[in-house]
């Protein structure tokens, strides 16, 4: 392929491809690589430094679930094509791609229309402030219509969606054979398999005039040159080169979204897409100034895209392979990254994340320009560019790289709360050490993956965004890291408490020759309000239990509380009062009274009613208005207590409820199915409540 240039920022285009799964993002990337010579039809990546095999099937599978970078050269520019996954479970990678890109190609399937998932992806782009162009695929499908698709997009996304090209059709009236450029008024004919350009004929010119007028008016309305709009309104002919130059400004302002119909399988309109990226998309110099802080939170002066400025870069993706090592995909916002240079690595995560904050100095390894399995060495990575960095041992996805003498921190993109818990365990003893190391690498790669070690149940729990996310994690554990892992039924962290007052007698008297054990205590137990925890009261009179052993009784009670008294779950929300006991001048000891306290609590539990408590979460569900009824009914079935409903923007509602956590194990999957992928929710633990008697009896009987 032509060498990918070590370009200055004004000659770089960082383009993120966004779209629902199956719309053709990866096929478009492959077609662009073929068109620019980065990839041959034989599936080879070739340049002066690298020749390597490229497996399109394997790459397509990887890109469907991962953010990947495909750099290439076109018209003297370096294009960094960032392919993002379209599945909801991998929205973290989408947000990383939007952070790294300066503009987006938003891919929509004409056959599938504007799905709910596509609308959510558009909202993600809008929230990130990313300039966009719309790429319309699958127009060769029988139920596809270019005109209907454009109107649907305009209705849903706004009048700023306007075609740059109109399709021309073959003799069957349905197959697209070429395009008419509304600005150039030229026809690009692809019917022969290659692109042939020619001027539009009189009939074609007449047919495009209305669409052409709307397009030019939209562009010049956003122009900084007010004389253009005045001239257009006055009916003057405008210089099309000037209009094309102003198109980029209209795209950057986010009010104009040019649309191109393409067929990436045949290559139709790939050149037109590349021309749009080159002439209509912003360079990194037009990226908004980046505001960083010091690691301790002091806000710093915004930084522009200056290769001579202080180093500020961000790890947008981390991958780790057993025999390759760790590679970090890095976007440089300021300064220049060079091989073997020392850098400061800062990672500060959400308070409820299982990812630990860190601030460390490291020396980076080599720099690469990646494509497929090939890694082309580069001498530096300047502000505005993206590269792969080797040997950043502590770096995780979302971390900030800066100068050792001038450490900085970028606020990482928001990662969704993982809400699908799965208990895992190593299959064999030999897998246990490998599992710990593999999980550490997976956590560094994926900030949306959380790991929880639950002391009360003894389980390791992976928290994922959904079933597809879990499948990928389990596949990498097995096939990349060679760890045999089994899943296990998730044990919810229950609690026990006394439902009524009770008395307990603990007698620990043993004589076996020599020094024996002697400790006797009497206690009263009473329930406390939810969340009160544990209180210990000493009401011993007359020295029945010597002063030095009062704390021993309390310690024994606390130990037994941790073990449970009926089903093996910790006891909470009780007050224990020590009211009496006996001691021996020789055989009494700290351990004897610890045991007596433990026995007394168990005795009290046998004489009164003990309840099981289950954890309760407050959840906030956001769904389109059409699904509110179904959501509320489903929450009631899950023993939820509805606490409120409210509007959440146009067409959406917010439902809040308190639901037992045992009912939420697969709620993220069920909600996605119930709302056709449009609903989401958050949760937070709010306390415990008594478990229904039937379920409690079942658990007690099995313990």
Chain centroid to CA 526: 46
- pLDDT band at residue 130 using 50, 70 and 90 as cut-offs: very high
Count, residues in the chain: 703
Q: How confident is the model at residue 249 (pLDDT cuts 50, 70, 90)?
A: confident
Longest dimension (CA), the chain: 117
| CATH C-level class of 312-402 | mainly beta
Q: How far apart are CA 455 and CA 435, in angstroms?
A: 18
Question: pLDDT (tens digit, 9 = 90+) per residue, 498-536?
Answer: 999 999 999 999 977 667 899 999 999 999 998 899 999
* Alpha-carbon gap, residue 703 to 697, rounded angstroms: 10
* C-alpha span between 211 and 245 (Å, rounded): 19
Average pLDDT of span 643-648: 94
Q: Which 8-state DSSP code applies to residue 142?
A: T
| Nearest residue to 492 (alpha-carbon basis) of 300, 659, 298, 380 | 659
The secondary structure element, H or E, covering residue 370 is strand 367-371
What are 313's strand-pairing partners?
332, 401
pLDDT above 60: residue 59: no
Q: What is the pLDDT of residue 513?
A: 65
Residues 483, 574: contact at Cβ < 8 Å? no
User: Cα-flanking dihedrals φ and ψ of residue 276, to 5°?
Assistant: -65, -45
Q: What are phi and psi of 338, to 5 degrees?
A: -130, 150
Confidence band of 373 (pLDDT split at 50, 70, 90): low
Q: Which CATH architecture has domain 495-608?
A: 2-Layer Sandwich (3.30)
pLDDT-derived band at 6 (thresholds 50, 70, 90) equals: low
The average confidence (pLDDT) of the chain is 89
pLDDT in the model for residue 241: 85
CATH code 2.40.30.10 region(s) in the chain: 312-402
CA distance 137 to 115: 14
Residue among 372, 388, 377, 376 nearest 43 (CA): 372
pLDDT of residue 43: 53
Residue 696: the pLDDT is 81
Task: For residue 559, name the pLDDT band (cuts at 50, 70, 90).
Answer: very high
pLDDT band at 250 (very low <50, low <70, confident <90, very high): confident
CA nearest neighbour of 421 among 474, 461, 469: 461
Lowest mean pLDDT across 54-63, 243-252, 386-395, 399-408: 54-63
| Helices and strands per DSSP (H, E), number in the chain | 16, 36
Helix (H) or strand (E) holding 612: strand 610-624
Average pLDDT, integer, range 87-114: 93
Cα 499–Cα 501–Cα 505 angle in degrees, nearest 5: 120
Q: Specify the pairing of strand 400-402 against strand 312-321.
A: antiparallel
3.50.40.10, 3.40.50.300, 3.40.47.10, 3.30.70.240: CATH of 613-702: 3.30.70.240
pTM of the model: 0.85
Residue that wins the pLDDT comparison between 125 and 43: 125
Residue 63 — pLDDT band, cuts 50, 70, 90? very low
152-167: string of b/e by CB count within 10 Å (b at 16+)?
Answer: bbeeebeebbbbbbbb
CB 225 within 8 A of CB 246: yes
Burial class (CB in 10 A: 0-12, 13-18, 19+), 41: exposed
pLDDT value at position 3? 47
Query: Measured between alpha carbons, how far is 77 from 297 in angstroms, rounded to an integer?
Result: 37
Residue among 106, 96, 93, 100 nearest 472 (CA): 93
- Boundaries of CATH 3.30.230.10 in the chain? 495-608
pLDDT over 90 at 346, yes or no: yes
Residue 81, both tokens: 């094509």
**The pLDDT of residue 52 is above 60:** no
Q: pLDDT digit string (tens) for 66-92? A: 789 999 999 999 999 999 998 888 999
Contact assessment for residue 421 and residue 390, using Cβ atoms and an 8 Å cutoff: no
Give the separation between CA 471 and CA 469, rounded to whole angstroms: 5
Phi-psi region of 637 (alpha: psi -120 to 50; beta: other; left: phi over 0): alpha
349-353, 412-416, 665-669: least confidently modelled range: 349-353
Six-digit token string for 387: 């590269």
Indicate the pLDDT class of residue 60, thresholds 50, 70 and 90.
Answer: very low
* pLDDT at site 65: 53
566/553 Cα distance (integer angstroms): 20
pLDDT for position 405: 95
Measured between its terminal Cα atoms, the distance across the chain in Å is 66
Comma-separated ranges of CATH 3.30.70.240 domains in the chain: 613-702
Q: Average pLDDT in the 342-354 region?
A: 85
pLDDT band per the 50, 70, 90 thresholds, residue 326: confident
Instruction: Collapse the DSSP code of 265 into the 3-class scheme (helix H, G, I; strand E, B; otherwise coil) and give the result.
Output: coil
What the block records as the tokens of 496 is 């026990």
**Average pLDDT of the residues in 251-268:** 92
The residue with greater pLDDT, 3 or 651, is 651
Name 31's Cβ contacts closer than 8 Å, sequence gap at least 6: 264, 265, 267, 270
> How would you write 616-654 as a 3-class SS string?
EEEEEEEEEHHHHHHHHHHHHHCCCEEEEEEECCCCEEE
Residue 644 has pLDDT above 70, yes or no: yes
Nearest alpha carbon to residue 27 among 371, 356, 264, 215: 264
The fraction of the chain above a pLDDT of 90, given in percent, is 69
Q: How far apart are CA 508 and CA 486, in angstroms?
A: 43
pLDDT at 216 over 80: yes
In this structure, are strands 161-163 and 257-261 parallel, antiparallel, or unpaired? parallel
Name 127's Cβ contacts closer than 8 Å, sequence gap at least 6.
Answer: none
Spell out the CATH class of 421-488.
alpha beta
pLDDT at 703: 57
More confident residue, 372 or 134: 134
In whole angstroms, give the CA distance from residue 557 to residue 559: 5
Q: Where does the chain hold its CATH 3.30.70.870 domain(s)? A: 421-488
Q: Residue written as tokens 């190593």?
A: 426
Check whether 62 has a pLDDT greater than 60: no
CA distance 620 to 406: 41
pLDDT top residue among 467 and 236: 467
d(CA 387, CA 314): 11
The answer to whether the beta carbons of residues 313 and 400 sit under 8 Å apart is yes
Token pair 């993109």: residue:
413
pLDDT for residue 53: 39
pLDDT tens-digit series, residues 166-209: 999 888 877 899 999 999 999 999 988 889 999 999 999 999 99
The angle, 0 to 180 degrees and rounded to 10, between the axes of the packed helices 25-35 and 270-280 is 90
Measure the CA–CA gap between 4 and 395, rounded to whole angstroms: 26
Written in H, E and C, the secondary structure of 672-698 is HHHCCCCCEEEEEEEEEEECCHHHHHH
Tell me which DSSP letter residue 406 carries.
B
Q: Which of 46-60, 245-259, 396-410, 604-618 has the lowest mean pLDDT?
A: 46-60
With H, G, I as helix, E, B as strand and everything else as coil, classify residue 227: helix
Cβ contacts of 120-127, under 8 Å, gap ≥ 24: 120/88, 120/677, 120/678, 121/18, 121/19, 121/20, 121/86, 121/94, 122/157, 124/18, 124/91, 124/94, 124/95, 124/98, 125/18, 125/98, 126/254
CA pair distance 283, 275, nearest whole angstrom: 14
CB 68 within 8 A of CB 318: no
Whole-Å CA distances, 305 to 283, 286, 409? 10, 8, 16
9-202+255-284 architecture in CATH? Answer: 3-Layer(aba) Sandwich (3.40)
> What count of other Cβ atoms lies within 10 Å of the Cβ of residue 591?
14
CATH 3.40.50.300 range(s) for the chain read 9-202+255-284
Strand positions, DSSP E, 379-482: 381-382, 386-390, 400-402, 420-426, 450-454, 459-464
Which whole number is the average pLDDT over 588-613? 96
pLDDT for 120 beyond 60: yes
């Amino acid at each position: 392929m032509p060498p990918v240039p070590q370009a200055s920022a004004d000659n770089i285009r960082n383009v993120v491809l966004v779209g629902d799964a199956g719309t053709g993002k990866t096929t478009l990337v492959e077609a662009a690589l073929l068109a620019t010579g980065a990839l041959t039809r034989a599936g080879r990546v070739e340049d002066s430094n690298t020749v390597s095999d490229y497996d399109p099937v394997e790459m397509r599978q990887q890109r469907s679930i991962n953010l990947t970078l495909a750099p290439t050269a076109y018209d003297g520019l370096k294009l960094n094509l960032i392919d993002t996954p379209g599945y909801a479970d991998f929205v973290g990678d989408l947000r990383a791609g939007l952070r790294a890109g300066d503009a987006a190609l938003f891919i929509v399937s004409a056959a599938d229309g504007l799905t709910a998932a596509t609308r959510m992806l558009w909202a993600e782009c809008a929230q990130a402030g990313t300039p966009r162009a719309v790429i319309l695929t699958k127009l060769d499908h029988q139920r596809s219509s270019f005109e209907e698709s454009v109107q649907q997009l305009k209705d849903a996304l706004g009048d700023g969606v306007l075609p740059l090209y109109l399709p021309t059709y073959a003799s069957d009236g349905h197959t697209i054979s070429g395009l008419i450029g509304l600005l150039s008024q030229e026809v690009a004919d692809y019917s022969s398999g290659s692109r042939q350009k020619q001027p539009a004929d009189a009939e074609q010119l007449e047919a495009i005039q209305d669409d052409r007028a709307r397009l030019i008016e939209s562009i010049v309305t956003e122009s900084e040159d007010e004389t253009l709009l005045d001239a257009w309104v006055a009916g003057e002919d405008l210089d099309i080169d000037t209009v094309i130059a102003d198109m980029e400004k209209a795209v950057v302002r986010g009010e104009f979204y040019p649309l191109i119909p393409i067929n990436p399988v045949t290559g139709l309109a790939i050149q037109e897409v590349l021309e749009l990226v080159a002439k209509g998309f912003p360079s990194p110099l037009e990226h908004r100034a980046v505001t960083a802080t010091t690691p301790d939170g002091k806000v710093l002066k915004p930084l522009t895209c200056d290769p001579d400025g202080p180093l500020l870069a961000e790890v947008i993706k981390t991958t780790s392979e057993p025999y390759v090592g760790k590679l970090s995909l890095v976007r440089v916002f300021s300064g220049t990254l060079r091989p073997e240079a020392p850098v400061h690595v800062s990672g500060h995560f959400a308070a409820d994340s299982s990812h630990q904050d860190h601030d460390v100095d490291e020396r980076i390894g080599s720099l690469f320009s990646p494509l497929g399995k090939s890694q082309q060495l580069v001498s530096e990575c300047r502000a505005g560019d993206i590269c792969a960095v080797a040997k950043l041992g502590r770096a995780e996805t979302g971390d900030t790289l800066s100068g050792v003498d001038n450490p900085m921190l970028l606020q990482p993109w928001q990662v969704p709360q993982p809400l699908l818990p799965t208990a895992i365990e190593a299959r064999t003893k030999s897998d246990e050490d490998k599992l710990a190391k593999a999980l550490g690498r997976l956590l560094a790669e994926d900030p949306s993956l959380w790991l929880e070690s639950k002391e009360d149940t003894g389980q390791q729990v992976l928290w994922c965004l959904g079933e597809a996310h879990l499948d990928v994690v389990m596949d990498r554990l097995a096939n990349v890291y060679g760890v045999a892992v089994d899943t296990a039924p998730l044990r919810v962290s229950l609690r026990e408490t006394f439902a009524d007052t009770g008395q307990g007698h603990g007698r620990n008297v043993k004589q076996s020759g020599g020094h024996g054990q002697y400790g006797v205590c009497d206690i009263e137990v009473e329930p406390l309000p939810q969340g009160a925890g544990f209180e210990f009261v000493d009401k011993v009179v007359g020295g029945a239990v010597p002063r030095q052993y009062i704390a021993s009784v309390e310690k024994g009670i606390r130990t037994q509380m941790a073990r449970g008294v009926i089903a093996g779950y910790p006891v909470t929300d009780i007050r224990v009062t020590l009211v009496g006991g006996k001691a021996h001048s020789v055989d009494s000891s700290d351990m004897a009274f610890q045991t007596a306290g433990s026995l007394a609590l168990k005795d009290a539990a046998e004489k009164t009613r003990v309840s099981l408590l289950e954890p309760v979460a407050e959840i906030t569900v956001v769904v389109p208005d059409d699904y509110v009824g179904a959501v509320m009914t489903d929450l009631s079935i899950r023993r939820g207590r509805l606490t409120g409903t409210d509007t959440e923007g146009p067409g959406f509602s917010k439902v809040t409820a308190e639901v037992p956590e045992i009912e939420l194990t697969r709620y993220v999957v069920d909600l996605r199915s119930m709302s056709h992928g449009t609903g989401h929710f958050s949760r937070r633990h709010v306390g415990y409540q008594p478990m229904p008697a039937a379920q409690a009896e079942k658990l007690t009987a099995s313990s």
